[in-house]
Amino acid sequence: MTSALAALLACAGQTVLYAQDPIIQTKYTADPAPMVYNDTVFLYTSHDEDDAQGYGFKMLDWQLYTSTDMVNWTDHGPIASLKDFTWRKRDNGAWALQVVERNGKFYMYCPLHGNGIGVLVSDSPYGPFKDPIGKPLVWQKEHWDDIDPTVYIDDDGQAYIYNGGGGTCKGGRLKDNMMELDGAMRTMEGLVDFHEATWIHKYNGKYYLSYSDNHELGQEGVAGWNRMHYAISDHPLGPWKHIGIYMQPTRPETGVTNHGSIVQYKGQWFAFYHNSALSGDPWLRSVCVDRLYHNADGTIRMVEQR
């Protein structure tokens, strides 16, 4: 699948090609988790089933798209699903995932909502992915805590895992095998109005933890109008200094969630997120991407949604 249209924009003296938002228009996708590997963007997403309208989250598998120019996206279809976890107790709940590479292996961290966070492993970013441990990696027995895993591997090789929803973000170390916690996870201090959707990136030696907030959460019985916040620290596990908002609620304001991710590709920074522009329905979301800029003082300029 290639994106339907590309818009040519002149930006800060450079010519920048963008795919038209939403960048995926043939399926409903959410919770974008980009990974840059071998000069390619591997965009892993969750997937809202077509018949989820009026139902709530109906999410059974995870999808993969790739691009080498941020304009044309190739659809690789579902690359993992709830069925890959024999210990699952529900046939719904394939929420926001993330994939990272370490020493030639690819680790996919998957929340099974209500069942904990599992990990799948593959020798290729395209899969097949298998569950080597046969049990949850994280299971704090609170179904809102055990969502939205994100993993960051620091320059010294130490890997960190974060997760959380419903008000608490936790972080901790992973062992070198990437499939075991190295000590207990602890609450990330200093975040303001944390809701979910943790993502870590590093810029100029500082750690950035971004997340969605509780803005107008629950109005009209839907998920809210999340804004994306960020906090900065000198250390991967904080304490964090809350800086502010880098993205206002997505448009149109259909009461959708937002879930951001920030990545550098070919020297430029990008903010991925999702909205309900194609469907107008909170449970049928679509992944978008826009440019992200760091200011000279390290703060993030508000992302302009196109």
98-102 and 105-112: which strand pairing? Answer: antiparallel
Confirm or reject binding of residue 57 to ligand FUB (CB under 6 A). yes
Range 15-34 burial, b when 16+ CB lie within 10 A, else e: eeebbebbbbbebbbbbbbb
CB-wise, 100 or 223, nearer to ligand FUB?
Answer: 223
Nearest-approach distance from CB 257 to ligand FUB, in angstroms: 4
Nearest Cα to 268, choosing from 293, 287, 296? 293
Q: What is the dihedral of CA 127, 132, 134, 140, to 10 degrees?
A: -90
Selected binder of ligand FUB within 131, 146, 196, 213 (CB under 6 A): 196
Residue 290 CB, nearest approach to ligand FUB (Å): 17
Position closest to ligand FUB via CB? 95
Q: Check: CB of residue 262 under 8 Å from CB of residue 270.
A: yes
226: three-class secondary structure by DSSP: coil
Q: Any contact of residue 259 with ligand FUB (CB under 6 A)? A: yes
Choose between 123 and 220: whose C-beta lies nearer to ligand FUB.
220
Contact between 21 and 305 (Cβ < 8 Å): yes
Q: Contact letters (x/-) for ligand FUB, 208-237, by CB under 6 A?
A: ------------------------------
Nearer to ligand FUB, 71 or 118 (CB): 118
Residue 257 or 275: the one with the smaller Cβ distance to ligand FUB is 257
CA dist 269 and 249 (Å) reads 20
> Shortest approach of ligand FUB to residue 57 CB, angstroms?
5
| Number of shown-chain residues binding ligand FUB (CB under 6 A) | 12
**How far is the C-alpha of 290 from the C-alpha of 303, rounded, in Å?**
7
Which token pair is 142?
Answer: 């609170």
**Interface pattern 129-158 for ligand FUB (x via CB under 6 A):** ------------------xx----------
Answer whether 11's CB lies under 8 Å from 70's CB.
no
Residue closest to 175 by CA, chosen among 161, 186, 189, 163: 161
For residue 156, give the DSSP letter. T
> Whose Cβ is closer to ligand FUB: residue 131's or residue 148's?
148
Choose between 67 and 163: whose C-beta lies nearer to ligand FUB: 163
Q: Which is nearer to ligand FUB, 82 or 147 (CB)?
A: 147
Instruction: Specify the long-range contacts of residues 269-272, CB closer than 8 Å, at least 24 apart.
Output: 269/203, 269/293, 269/294, 270/34, 270/70, 271/228, 271/246, 271/247, 271/303, 272/32, 272/34, 272/43
For ligand FUB, give the closer residue by CB, 30 or 231.
30
Site mask, ligand FUB, residues 17-46, x = CB under 6 A?
-------------xx--------------x
Q: Which of 79, 96, 185, 284 binds ligand FUB (CB under 6 A)?
A: 96
Does 197 interact with ligand FUB (rule: CB under 6 A)? yes
Under the rule (CB under 6 A), what is the footprint of ligand FUB? 30-31, 46, 57, 95-96, 147-148, 196-197, 257, 259
